[in-house]
Structure 1
Amino acid sequence: MRLAATILILLLLPSPWLHAQTRVWQGELPLATSDEGPPNENPPFDIFATDRFVYPYSMREDVRSSETVHNWRAVFLENEYIKCTVLPDLGGHIYTCIDKLNGQPMFYANPTLKKALIGYRGAWSAFGVEFNFPVSHNWVSLSPVDYAFSSAADGSASVTVGNRDRVYGMEWTVQLILRPGSTVLEERVTLTNRSDLRHRFYWWNNAGVQVWDDSKIWYPTPFTAAHGFADVDTWPVNAKGVDLSLVANHKDGPVSRFVYGSREPFMGIYHPHTDAGVVHYANYSDLPAKKIWSWGEDAAGLAWRKALSDNDSAYAEVQAGLFRNQETYGFLEPQQVIRFSEYWMPVRHIGGISSGNLNGVVYLSRKADANGKIALTAAFNTNRKVQHARIAILDGGKAVFEEVASLDPAKTWSHTLNDLPSDRSYTFLLEDDNKAVLLKHTEGVYDWTPRDEVKTGPQVAHKPDLDTAAGLLEQGTNEELQGNLLAARKTYQRGLAAYPVSLEFLKAEGRLDVNLFRFEEASNFLKQVEDRATWDGETRYYRGIAERALGHPREARTEFEAAYRDPSYRVAGGLMLAELLAQQHDVHGALEVLAKACPEASIASSSQRCSEDIVALKRSAGQTDEARSLAGTLLETYPTDAFLQHELVRLGSPNPGLDRYLGSDVDRILALVVQYDRLGLYADSLALLSRHYPAASADETEPDAVPPSQNPLLAYYRGYCREQLGESGRADYQAASKMSLRYSFPSRAETIPVLRAALASNAADASAHFLLGSLWFSKGIIEPAEDEWRRAAALRADIPTLDASLGRALLQINQQPAEAAAVFRHGFQVDASNPALYIGMDKAMQQMGKPATQRVAMLERFPKHVDMPAELVRALVDALRENGQSDQADALLAEHFLPRKEGAPPLEPKANAKPKKAD
């Protein structure tokens, strides 16, 4: 409790700026945080996944029950009414915003960041506001992200957070803005696909809000839908007669419902416990979807409050998204950008939430009189000062109350009318002194779908007819949208087998093969489409990528030129064409194409990568003043853009923090290197790859971070860039071959020629063979991957994770348990503490019919000084039971797992105890 009190004091400390303009500054926030062991060293290849596709990130599954206080970097954003805290090293979460008028937190300010295995990569914690793109509880929910902060000439201040993911190379940014005199926190969201390929995505803004039993969810909808649209139910009282808007009624486990049949733009939670709450607002056309999540009283037999907090606090989640539910994804096309805003506002002393917009929030409540009439109370929080506002209560078109008042966020306006007829609906009307309507709400009147048009109860589940071409295409598309690209490829192959001349299947397969590094096959399929659908710019675009990867620049140029002429691919095709020209030293031609594809007049709303390329090419062409001016202007739009920041450094503007930022995540360096390489600016890449980067603190890095000086991929790229500049890369390749390969998960197509160049220099480079094998295997290219891994194993016997990965491939894909067991046995000599070896060996022994006694003996050889992961515990428990050692199995369960109620789901490890969420 002492730490919680300290946090509250820090957040509420008054400042001399209390009545001045908004301000923003960086500091620290001490928070007790769950300890973690090292991330899983084994690459989480997609081919072994079912629903969460993580590669090239590592899995963070070793969450401990112990805690340590961390002084997290924090950015504070404050005006007269609100003080917000943003944590850039924890996914960019808003930790909370304090309503300074009543001292209440808008969002769940969990005093302990208590982790559980909920996130996309495992570790996750419940607090504040989480930004989810392109998946929920995303890859970097507890990782450092990019950030910047600034003040503007209009008196506002902002914090920008964002991230470019390693899986798809797409980027999100959220600019959080406070303006002087306003209680509204604005989120300006930008979602960008700056990669070459289309990728699946969605956006869900997830705000945790602390709740008590009397907290009420104000969810303006008559109906809600379940996950997967499995059923539609009534709201707030469901088909069982339970009012789910009241948190105290969440007794039957989690409540997870999506809005249905409503176009209302607001939602919120109000707490009689504190007489305060929070409201979310977004234009329906921008952000239509809403979701409420609550764990319920005793979720799945597990005390979730203890699992997620140290003070038994409860929270609910208020979520807003682009699509109707969290099973629905869309495709974001290459260079496509989506922008929208959403808003948060505190409410206090009004008792509830009837309606709200950016001008304020109103609550209309009734109380029956003894004489059968009602007392109607209207209470209103304004979000800014409004002089000479006209407030009226209407009965139809007739005003039963009217006054002119000056409204102030610091004062709640309210009025009670007595002796009103109970059979009438009353309207609250707020106008400014020019009679412009600021807010109007009639009791019970909302923008809802008529009830007789909605079918409640179980919904019909549609399944594609896989005996038809349309059904197979639908199935493949759905699999792509769920991130299961390898399953989608099998579906498209099935379609091609049945319909070998189908343009749709040829295009789908070819486009997907580009994504999966099967460039020759992709080019062949797409050429068949191109010969018939001569108008299709998308086909030309993707075939151009395949031809470029195959080392055919002339063919690639022809394809990109055709794509560039298609309006739908003007920007993406023009960008690829320009980068190809630049790589061939035609800087003038590249700039000419970029000027047409993404002209400077609209560059701030065009492709961000276009903008970066223009700056770099102008600098390289000697147009330094133009490059400097453009980069400075663009940074106002893209304040977290490391490429533009680096360009300004190259142009002579010092930036002492940039090297620390880049050095804290090798992937940030590689992202810049790949972009410079595409422009033929290998000297810029080499400078980045040769630099000494200062060490960042552990909290500023991914837990599996390898320092740049020790990262083999950087060294391989360095040698490659030297060769492109006419120098020898042999020394760099040799240095790379001697570096540790732990947590080296290559994923970029650009890494293929780099590793091939290293092998051309030294065919006996085991590290290059191993990394190339991992790259192939990450895309489901099995035989070449296994060949490379075998070459690596023959050259070097001590590569960590090689035996675990190769053994698993032999066991699960090749169906060769004996061969897999031999590989696992070798792995025990190399890395005896790798759980994947024991789990794999156990499965191999089962398939070979080995007795349980041998399996128990093998599993019990796992080192005692290493924490045994849950999957390995379960394997040993099963083997013990099969061997007749039930008492030992029960003791092992009691040691590692929390007790569960009868009929509850499978056991969870003590350190990670928390039921899974359905999102």
Structure 2
Amino acid sequence: MSDRTSHIRLPAPPPAEQALLDDGGVACWEEDVEIDTYEPGAPDRFPMFFDHRVYQGSDGRVYPLPFVDRIETEPVRRTWKAIHLENRWVRLMLLPEIGGRIHIGYDKTRDYDFFYRNNVIKPALVGLGGPWISGGVEFNWPQHHRPGTYLPVDVHVERGDDGSATVWHSDLDPLQRMRGTHGVRLRPDSSTIEVEAKLFNRTDEPQTFLWWANVAAAVHEEYQSFFPTDVRYVADHARRAITAFPRADRPYYGVDYPELAAHDADADRLDVYSHIPVPTSYMVTETADEFFGGYDHRAGAGFVHWADRDIAPGKKQWTWGNGPIGHAWDRQLTDGDGPYVELMAGVFTDNQPDFSYLLPGETRSFSQFWYPIQDVGVIHQASRDAALSVRVDGTDVVVGIAPSRPVDAEAVVELEGRIVARAQFRAEPGSPYSLSAAVPPGTTRDDLVVTVHEGGRELVTWRRHAPIDGEPWAATEPPAAASLDSIDELLLTAQHLVQYRHPTRAAEPYLRRALELDPDDSRAHLALAELALVRGSYDDALGHVEDAARRLTRRNLNPRTGELHYRRGLVLERLGDLEEAARSFAKAGWDGAFAVAARLGLARVLLRLGRNEQAEAAAARAVELDAANTTAIAALVLARRRLGAAEAAASVLDAARAADPLDPFLAALAGDLGLRDPRTALTIAQDFARHGEVESSLEWAARSELAGPTVFGNTGPVAGYTRALVLDRAGRAAEAVEAREAARRANRDLAFPAGLDDLDALTAAIAAGETAGEPDTVALGLLGSLLLGVRRHEEARDVLVAAVLGGSDDPVVLRNAAVAVANTGGDLDLADGFLAQAFRADGPVPSARLVYERDQLARLRGIDGAARLAAIESSGVDVFRRDDLTIAVLGLLLDVDRVEEARAILASRRFQPFEGGEGLVIAAFDRATLVTARRLLDVDPAAAAALLEAAVDVPENLGEGRHPADPAAELLVLAGDAHLATGAVESAEARWRAARDAGGPLAVAPRPARPDDFWIGAAHLRLGEYPEADAVWAALDASALALEDAYPTPDYFATSLPETLLFAVDDARGRTAAAAELREAASRGRALSAERAEVRA
């Protein structure tokens, strides 16, 4: 953390924009800003296959996105591209180079940042791909957090006829390749910030998505989040738990709020950040209203969010918590701007994870609205026009009205049908109106009706909502597939696992179980066909499609939906049977649900077949059915150009670009696509190829080929192979050979192929090499990466081993071969041999990532600690560049009794944990402290006590805070012993009680016993609580038995398991050792109890 104070200086508008402001308009201009920035480290050159990572409750795989796992510890002054939006009330600063986020939301009328202003760019390891920053508004889609949150987006500024200015941001999602566009809009007559989003599934498959606008608000003891007054309950992630709101009526996140409130009247309120001691999320389960927000009572200002509840039910608060963990994350994410909460607004979702479907070719459009409020307190009702507060104090009612635009309005307060106050008023943003009236004693807010109208138009009305009866449902874990006999339940469970991207349970076992019960079930076959096609297993996909067809067409040649024929068309297109694909797409187009996607598929294959008039008709019909489908528009333009109708094609293209200037396919057709994201350029090349446009495909593939490694990855080699495939299909074999040779020569750093077009290009290159009798080891290696990325592990292993046997000395290929061998139950020594080759190929000093991975494999192979440490130390790497390797070394140093070296590292190095991965460095710190304290205890107990007391609070450089559920019982027991040795009996007993209570009301969530619970039992014994100690020993034995009897599985409802190891070996030895450790702790405990019993006797 930097010692200097950072502050973002907002530039003054240019003269022309200032003139607009002076006339009451909206200023919008681009001007760079300088911000103190902690730069992310370089992406790891090795692809990450996180098959077991849980991220925000869903699948945490990051491939093919390059992964960053280190942030620089000192800031630099960096210039960032910024877009500024301003009217008379509000000023915004947008950062298109960091996901198109709103970084500053400033209320000019109050000199107040209603969105959290982070004056540094200080990423922490929170994002899917690593870096993530706090502050402002982040637009999260298609999963949380936005995979491209730290990547740049394309930008376009639009001026509206109404004087509004909209800054459009757009990109292709780096994982699913759907297109997301969001426009941030200000109008001249309103303080409202409108965000209009357009989400387009430009892929062939249904895709799942969520959308959460993630607003940060600076908080303190007087900041209060507000939600609709009918909100009675809130839910955790995946609805795994619920509690009452605003006062928690049960333990939540392990915190016993009712117990806390018994000693502090408001300690159970979840709407005040300072009352929440641990990282906590909650999401509204049900409300009839459309608003929520936050209010700073200290500043007398805040904001309201409003959106149509029919499509935007999501209302959430997240906080790191007002405790050691939260304070540690505050330091990781900012230098001096303090804590914040996230007040997230979800559209088509009300939980995380909670995904909706986008059909192929479908676009969803919607708007969300925010505006600042002043002086009115917490809001009880709000609309787009105004926010309303109604406070009753004894016999007085005070109504606060904060409009989002200037209004000449009337407010009426009614009690039981009788008007008790009426007032005409003028108000505008920054100048709210307050109305006071007398009411009878005992009157409550619920007794009143308050209406604000302007002319004949109602602006906002408060009236009591009917209560929402009953407690909302909480989710339950589905049974294992083998235990289900209902095909319907099996299919619904499989669909849920796919739709919610479940990170630790697959859909296939449920679908295969359905086929055990009914081998011809068409629904199961079509679901398996979809999964197979997405992974590029074309023959398997076709087999399931044909199996489904036998049942679906047995009595009805025209099934109710077009899915069967649509899916058959996709598979046949990939297999190169274009005539049959065209017939299937044409038949699928009979169904309105598939009409657009099917006609687009038909147009595509007809263009490849040269049947241009038919292609034009199919594309025109697709556009007629969905005028927003830019891919269909592109097909229509291509068909008309082929037919010589250049003016008609240009007319369609010009109109489409005017409506959507950031669409990359349309931009490429107009010759106006930049190379900000080379992967998008390659996607467009592949789009052209699928439409039979040889020269355009070659042109855009060549552009992508020249880009080299970037933050998006490296498309160079695959772009070359794509050119080769296009040339081969065009009959230009000699040029194809040259293209493959260029692909093999290309820089392969960060070349992580993904998707079916990449797979087709690589498969064709491998086949060409086999035909020539010269295996293409580059294509084999790249295909191995792609197959690992889609969990085709056995095939990946075979391909990668073939690349190695063919002579590949690429360290990425060798390392990936090791991963594939280990993760398919292969010989771990063989895997280690591949890693050893990767070491040698990587240069004189291998990558620290390789050293770490080889050490983890050595652990699985049973190599002893001394040998593992020697291997790391002899590698020559800078161990301390990586947290994971440093933590591994710390453990090994302690294993070999080099304690002082470990303590020196822990005292000097700054650590950066992944979100959800906290605890590893604290464990090393505690272990080093305990070893040292035990050595001091006999010779200098006072020094031992001081060391242990200091260790209870984790040093800031470790980057973590101690969770109440990790009470450091051993530290506390030993501290008590040290105090006792100095004669401080009361201090000793206080520490033993702290160890016994194990976090107290802050850690009441049930959990299985752990080996370190031995020290809780030991604390009981030291306090003379013998039955309680016996209960601890029994719990340890019970945990051991459970571990021995049941195969351990991850928590079904886990929100964050940031597993960044690549080896998925079933470590039976480790499970046996864990059970033995539990039993050994129980045995030690009983022996200790026996010793105490002898002393008592």
Q: Which residue of 2 aligns with 1:717?
A: 722
The 1:153/1:440 distance shift into structure 2, 3 A limit, reads same
Corresponding letter in the other structure for 1:250: H
Q: Does 1:105 align with 2:105?
A: no
The 1:147/1:533 distance shift into structure 2, 3 A limit, reads same
Corresponding letter in the other structure for 2:627: A
Q: Aligned ranges for residues 638-649 of structure 1 at < 5 Å? A: 638-649=660-671
Using the TM superposition, give the Cα deviation of residue 889 of structure 1 relative to its aligned residue in structure 2, in angstroms: 4.1
Q: Which residue of 1 aligns with 2:693?
A: 681
Q: Does 1:338 align with 2:355?
A: no
Q: Which residue of 1 aligns with 2:498?
A: 480
Q: Which residue of 1 aligns with 2:533?
A: 514
Q: Does 1:274 align with 2:286?
A: no
Q: Aligned ranges for residues 14-33 of structure 1 at < 5 Å? A: 15-18=18-21, 19-33=23-37
Q: Does 1:829 align with 2:840?
A: yes
Using the TM superposition, give the Cα deviation of residue 792 of structure 1 relative to its aligned residue in structure 2, in angstroms: 2.5
Q: Secondary structure at the match of 1:555?
A: helix
Corresponding letter in the other structure for 1:364: V
Corresponding letter in the other structure for 2:471: V
Corresponding letter in the other structure for 1:339: S
Q: Aligned ranges for residues 389-408 of structure 1 at < 5 Å? A: 389-408=409-428
Q: 2:677 is matched with which residue: 665, 668, 677?
A: 665
Q: Which residue of 2 aligns with 1:913?
A: 959
- Aligned equivalents of 2:338, 2:13: Cα separation in 1: 19
Q: Does 1:559 align with 2:584?
A: yes
Corresponding letter in the other structure for 2:520: V
Q: Which moved more, 1:511-520 or 1:889-898?
A: 889-898
Using the TM superposition, give the Cα deviation of residue 235 of structure 1 relative to its aligned residue in structure 2, in angstroms: 1.3
Using the TM superposition, give the Cα deviation of residue 244 of structure 1 relative to its aligned residue in structure 2, in angstroms: 2.7
The 1:693/1:152 distance shift into structure 2, 3 A limit, reads farther
Q: Does 1:381 align with 2:402?
A: yes
The 1:843/1:293 distance shift into structure 2, 3 A limit, reads closer
- Aligned equivalents of 2:311, 2:679: Cα separation in 1: 32
Corresponding letter in the other structure for 2:238: G
Corresponding letter in the other structure for 1:417: A
Q: Which residue of 1 aligns with 2:49?
A: 45
Q: Aligned ranges for residues 743-758 of structure 1 at < 5 Å? A: 743-758=750-765
Q: Which residue of 1 aligns with 2:744?
A: 737
Structure 1: 5+ residue runs without aligned partners? 369-373, 650-654
The 1:230/1:768 distance shift into structure 2, 3 A limit, reads closer
Using the TM superposition, give the Cα deviation of residue 181 of structure 1 relative to its aligned residue in structure 2, in angstroms: 0.5
- Partners of 2:157 and 2:167 within 8 A in 1: yes
Corresponding letter in the other structure for 1:232: I
Using the TM superposition, give the Cα deviation of residue 312 of structure 1 relative to its aligned residue in structure 2, in angstroms: 4.5
Q: Secondary structure at the match of 1:741?
A: coil
The 1:320/1:122 distance shift into structure 2, 3 A limit, reads same
Q: Which moved more, 1:188-197 or 1:17-26?
A: 17-26
The 1:71/1:165 distance shift into structure 2, 3 A limit, reads same
Using the TM superposition, give the Cα deviation of residue 251 of structure 1 relative to its aligned residue in structure 2, in angstroms: 4.1
Using the TM superposition, give the Cα deviation of residue 764 of structure 1 relative to its aligned residue in structure 2, in angstroms: 3.5
Q: Which residue of 2 aligns with 1:223?
A: 233
- Partners of 2:681 and 2:704 within 8 A in 1: no
Q: 1:454 is matched with which residue: 471, 480, 494?
A: 471
Q: Does 1:604 align with 2:627?
A: yes
- Aligned equivalents of 1:153, 1:163: Cα separation in 2: 26
- Aligned equivalents of 1:527, 1:504: Cα separation in 2: 12
Q: Secondary structure at the match of 1:267?
A: strand
Q: Does 1:415 align with 2:435?
A: yes
- Deviation string 1:714-751 (CA, Å, 9 cap, x unpaired) is 22223333334443222222122112211111112112
- Partners of 2:713 and 2:752 within 8 A in 1: no
Corresponding letter in the other structure for 2:723: R
- Aligned equivalents of 1:342, 1:784: Cα separation in 2: 46
The 1:496/1:886 distance shift into structure 2, 3 A limit, reads farther
Using the TM superposition, give the Cα deviation of residue 46 of structure 1 relative to its aligned residue in structure 2, in angstroms: 5.3
Corresponding letter in the other structure for 1:619: R
Using the TM superposition, give the Cα deviation of residue 462 of structure 1 relative to its aligned residue in structure 2, in angstroms: 5.1
Q: Secondary structure at the match of 2:545?
A: helix
> TM-score, with normalisation over the residues of structure 2?
0.76
Q: Secondary structure at the match of 2:73?
A: strand
Corresponding letter in the other structure for 2:168: T
Q: Which moved more, 1:664-673 or 1:402-411?
A: 402-411
The 1:491/1:813 distance shift into structure 2, 3 A limit, reads farther
Tell me how large the CA RMSD over aligned residues is. Answer: 2.9
Q: Which residue of 1 aligns with 2:642?
A: 620
In our comparison, the structure showing a higher alpha carbon Rg is: 2
- Aligned equivalents of 2:339, 2:107: Cα separation in 1: 20
- Aligned equivalents of 2:5, 2:857: Cα separation in 1: 49
The 1:471/1:93 distance shift into structure 2, 3 A limit, reads same
- Deviation string 1:767-805 (CA, Å, 9 cap, x unpaired) is 122112222332223343223323322344431311211
**Whose strand proportion is higher, 1 or 2?**
1
The 1:732/1:847 distance shift into structure 2, 3 A limit, reads same
- Deviation string 1:815-868 (CA, Å, 9 cap, x unpaired) is 311111111111110124334433343343334433322111112234344644
Corresponding letter in the other structure for 1:515: V
- Deviation string 1:522-580 (CA, Å, 9 cap, x unpaired) is 10111111122130421221122112112222222222122111222111111111101
Q: Which moved more, 1:1-10 or 1:720-729?
A: 1-10
- Partners of 1:612 and 1:644 within 8 A in 2: yes
- Aligned equivalents of 2:433, 2:548: Cα separation in 1: 66
Q: Which residue of 2 aligns with 1:117?
A: 125
- Deviation string 1:411-443 (CA, Å, 9 cap, x unpaired) is 22112224653325333211122x22221113x
Corresponding letter in the other structure for 1:43: P
Q: Does 1:349 align with 2:369?
A: no
Q: Which moved more, 1:354-363 or 1:225-234?
A: 225-234
Using the TM superposition, give the Cα deviation of residue 289 of structure 1 relative to its aligned residue in structure 2, in angstroms: 1.6
- Partners of 2:10 and 2:33 within 8 A in 1: no
Q: Aligned ranges for residues 205-604 of structure 1 at < 5 Å? A: 205-220=213-228, 221-239=231-249, 240=258, 241=261, 242-247=267-272, 249-300=274-325, 303-321=328-346, 322-368=348-394, 374-387=395-408, 389-418=409-438, 420-424=440-444, 425-433=447-455, 435-442=456-463, 445-446=464-465, 448-450=467-469, 453-454=470-471, 463=479, 466-468=482-484, 469-483=487-501, 487-497=506-516, 499-534=518-553, 535=559, 536-599=561-624, 603-604=626-627
Q: Secondary structure at the match of 1:827?
A: helix
Q: Secondary structure at the match of 2:199?
A: strand
Q: Does 1:160 align with 2:186?
A: no
Q: Which moved more, 1:186-195 or 1:292-301?
A: 292-301
Using the TM superposition, give the Cα deviation of residue 69 of structure 1 relative to its aligned residue in structure 2, in angstroms: 2.1
Using the TM superposition, give the Cα deviation of residue 617 of structure 1 relative to its aligned residue in structure 2, in angstroms: 2.6
The 1:694/1:801 distance shift into structure 2, 3 A limit, reads closer
- Aligned equivalents of 2:103, 2:370: Cα separation in 1: 14
- Partners of 1:39 and 1:703 within 8 A in 2: yes
Q: Which moved more, 1:630-639 or 1:740-749?
A: 630-639
- Aligned equivalents of 2:670, 2:548: Cα separation in 1: 44
- Partners of 1:115 and 1:124 within 8 A in 2: yes
- Partners of 1:213 and 1:246 within 8 A in 2: no
Q: Does 1:838 align with 2:851?
A: yes
Q: Which residue of 2 aligns with 1:7?
A: 9
Q: Which residue of 2 aligns with 1:371?
A: none
- Partners of 1:250 and 1:294 within 8 A in 2: no
**Whose helix proportion is higher, 1 or 2?**
2
- Partners of 2:280 and 2:318 within 8 A in 1: yes
Corresponding letter in the other structure for 2:417: G
- Aligned equivalents of 2:630, 2:88: Cα separation in 1: 35
Using the TM superposition, give the Cα deviation of residue 47 of structure 1 relative to its aligned residue in structure 2, in angstroms: 4.0
Q: 2:95 is matched with which residue: 82, 87, 91?
A: 87
- Partners of 2:119 and 2:337 within 8 A in 1: no
Using the TM superposition, give the Cα deviation of residue 136 of structure 1 relative to its aligned residue in structure 2, in angstroms: 0.5
**How many pairs align?**
885
Q: Which moved more, 1:302-311 or 1:722-731?
A: 722-731
Using the TM superposition, give the Cα deviation of residue 627 of structure 1 relative to its aligned residue in structure 2, in angstroms: 2.2
- Partners of 1:65 and 1:911 within 8 A in 2: no
> TM-score, with normalisation over the residues of structure 1?
0.90
- Aligned equivalents of 1:12, 1:26: Cα separation in 2: 10
Q: 2:804 is matched with which residue: 768, 786, 793?
A: 793
The 1:797/1:867 distance shift into structure 2, 3 A limit, reads farther
- Aligned equivalents of 1:899, 1:329: Cα separation in 2: 30
The 1:833/1:396 distance shift into structure 2, 3 A limit, reads farther
